[in-house]
């Protein structure tokens, strides 16, 4: 048995200083707990204790790109970030577009024993945007999120036909990487004053906004659930806000790096600031932070996208898009939202709900699965090295406040900075 002692525990009734006793894979007691029979005691005084974080946008790079990350190293990075579940994106080689491969990734994730691994399967065969995947078969083996992430589904007819099928599957959701590829050729950073000044090709906000606008028409028509991935632009926030007011079942995510940085961060052309969508204007960043606080944006998702050092050690134009984020996300969210309840909502409760992960995102209570994070909101630290196989983080050398100290998955301590006594 494990006792998490004296933390500020997040339950249905809010936060209160309590002990949490874990027996086997479940929470056995919450309140003042007698230490008799306890094998390990975790001192959580001054820390938040709540459901483990859930990342609904992780690139595990496995199969096919395992020099960047693999299932084991990605799961270890997730556990170090306080996550107890991740949803793996399908842009692997081969892509995660059929039940056989999905089952294999989930099985290998389970084997690590570190975090729960779910899969977001490709909407189309080979993520080629042409032929819909067998979404019913994928749903049958547990897939709830469908996306061609890395690329948009550009063809409206293809997307409409898939949306109609997904609308018939309870709890299934179409997630879109909104990017009109015809508008982003030769683009590397946000199209604006910075792209002009640096003479680097720009990526317009409209490339995102236009796709979301088109998609919302299809949502209206088909009744499908829709999730907008990595929202970056004010125009997209406005569309989501109106869609929600209209009663459409629409959710949205933002990445930690879009909350922390704006286009000025690319002034030195550091390739660890190259990602899609790009860091946009200061106004966009402010709008994203507001939208996360007021609930227009539901979820923070990392878009953890590992690339090897040698792949990023090239010119900005040549560098691949993407940055890692699992190990630094919680600190960013803690500071940006400034409210522990909202932190757990956006990093745990809501992503678990959207991804259909029943053992995740549940406030602490007796009988619930023991997927728990102990998070110290006071600890200041500077990321330098990473558990991830890659280190392409924009937070290297940046002072962060707030850190996951202990992660418990299925009743086992899978990560600890303080050690147990």
Q: Which is nearer to Zn ion, 177 or 389 (CB)?
A: 177
DSSP 8-class letter at 23 = E
Q: Which is nearer to Zn ion, 229 or 410 (CB)?
A: 229
Q: Which is nearer to Zn ion, 112 or 176 (CB)?
A: 176
Binding window for Zn ion (CB under 5 A); candidates: 127-135, 174-182, 183-191, 219-227:
174-182
Residues 6+ apart with CB under 8 A from 381: 331, 399, 400, 403
Cβ–Cβ under 8 Å, residues 97 and 133: yes
DSSP sequence for 334-361: HHHH--HHHHHIIIIIHHHHHHT-TTSS
Residues 135-154 that bind Zn ion (CB under 5 A): 149
Q: Which is nearer to Zn ion, 65 or 409 (CB)?
A: 65
CA 85/CA 59 separation, integer angstroms: 13
User: Which position has the token pair 């926030």?
Assistant: 237
Smallest gap from Cβ 156 to Zn ion, in A, equals 19
Q: Which is nearer to Zn ion, 149 or 215 (CB)?
A: 149
Smallest gap from Cβ 150 to Zn ion, in A, equals 6
- Does residue 177 belong to the site contacting Zn ion (CB under 5 A)? yes
- Does residue 179 belong to the site contacting Zn ion (CB under 5 A)? no
Residues 327-346 that bind Zn ion (CB under 5 A): none
- Does residue 227 belong to the site contacting Zn ion (CB under 5 A)? no
Q: Which residue is nearest to Zn ion (CB)?
A: 177
284 is a catalytic site residue? no
User: Which position has the token pair 């892509």?
Assistant: 95
Name the 3-class secondary structure at 31: strand
Per annotation, catalytic residue among 272, 303, 359, 376: 303
Smallest gap from Cβ 152 to Zn ion, in A, equals 9
Cβ–Cβ under 8 Å, residues 329 and 55: yes
CA 421/CA 414 separation, integer angstroms: 15
Residues 286-325 that bind Zn ion (CB under 5 A): none
Could you tell me the sign of the dihedral formed by the alpha carbons of 42, 48, 51, 52, in that order? negative
Name the 3-class secondary structure at 377: strand
Smallest gap from Cβ 73 to Zn ion, in A, equals 21
Smallest gap from Cβ 349 to Zn ion, in A, equals 23
Size of the residue set binding Zn ion (CB under 5 A):
2
Binding window for Zn ion (CB under 5 A); candidates: 43-51, 170-178, 286-294, 371-379:
170-178
Strands 189-190 and 202-203: what pairing?
parallel
From the list 282, 284, 263, 271, the residue with the least C-alpha distance to 189 is 263
From the list 342, 335, 418, the residue with the least C-alpha distance to 374 is 418
Positions that interact with Zn ion (CB under 5 A)? 149, 177
Kindly list the catalytic residues: 303
């Amino acid at each position: 048995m494990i006792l998490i002692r004296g933390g500020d525990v997040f339950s249905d009734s809010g936060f209160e200083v309590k002990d949490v006793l874990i027996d086997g894979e479940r929470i056995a007691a919450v309140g003042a707990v007698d230490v008799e029979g306890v094998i390990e005691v975790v001192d959580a005084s001054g820390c938040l204790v709540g459901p483990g974080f859930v990342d609904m946008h992780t690139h595990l790079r496995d199969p096919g790109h395992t020099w960047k990350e693999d299932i084991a190293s990605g799961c270890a990075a997730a556990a170090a970030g306080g996550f107890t579940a991740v949803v793996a994106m399908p842009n692997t080689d081969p892509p995660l577009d059929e039940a056989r491969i999905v089952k294999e990734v989930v099985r290998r994730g389970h084997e690590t024993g570190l975090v729960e691994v779910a899969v977001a399967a490709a909407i189309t065969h080979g993520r080629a945007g042409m032929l819909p995947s067998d979404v019913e078969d994928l749903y049958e083996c547990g897939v709830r999120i469908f996306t061609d992430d890395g690329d948009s589904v550009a063809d409206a007819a293809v997307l409409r036909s898939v949306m109609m099928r997904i609308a018939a599957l309870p709890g299934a959701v179409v997630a879109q990487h909104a990017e009109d590829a015809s508008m982003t050729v030769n683009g590397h950073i946000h199209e604006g004053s910075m792209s002009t000044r640096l003479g680097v090709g720009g990526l317009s906000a409209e490339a995102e906004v236009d796709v979301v606008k088109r998609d919302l028409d299809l949502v209206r028509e088909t009744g499908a659930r829709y999730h907008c991935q990595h929202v970056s632009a004010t125009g997209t926030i406005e569309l989501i806000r109106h869609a929600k007011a209209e009663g459409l079942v629409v959710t949205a995510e933002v990445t930690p790096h879009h909350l922390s940085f704006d286009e000025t961060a690319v002034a030195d052309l550091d390739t660890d600031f190259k990602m899609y969508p790009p860091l946009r204007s200061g106004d966009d960043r402010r709008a994203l932070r507001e939208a996360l606080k007021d609930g227009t944006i539901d979820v923070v998702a990392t878009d953890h996208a590992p690339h090897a050092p040698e792949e990023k050690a090239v010119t900005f134009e040549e560098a691949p898009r993407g940055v890692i984020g699992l190990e630094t996300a919680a600190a960013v969210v803690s500071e940006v939202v400034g409210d522990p309840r909202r932190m757990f909502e956006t990093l745990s409760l809501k992503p678990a709900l959207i991804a259909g992960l029943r053992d995740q995102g549940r406030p602490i209570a007796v009988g619930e699965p023991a997927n728990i994070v102990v998070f110290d909101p006071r600890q200041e630290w500077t990321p330098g090295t990473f558990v991830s196989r890659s280190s392409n983080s924009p937070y290297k050398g940046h002072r962060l406040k707030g850190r996951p100290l202990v992660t418990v998955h299925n009743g086992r301590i899978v990560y600890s900075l303080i050690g147990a006594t």
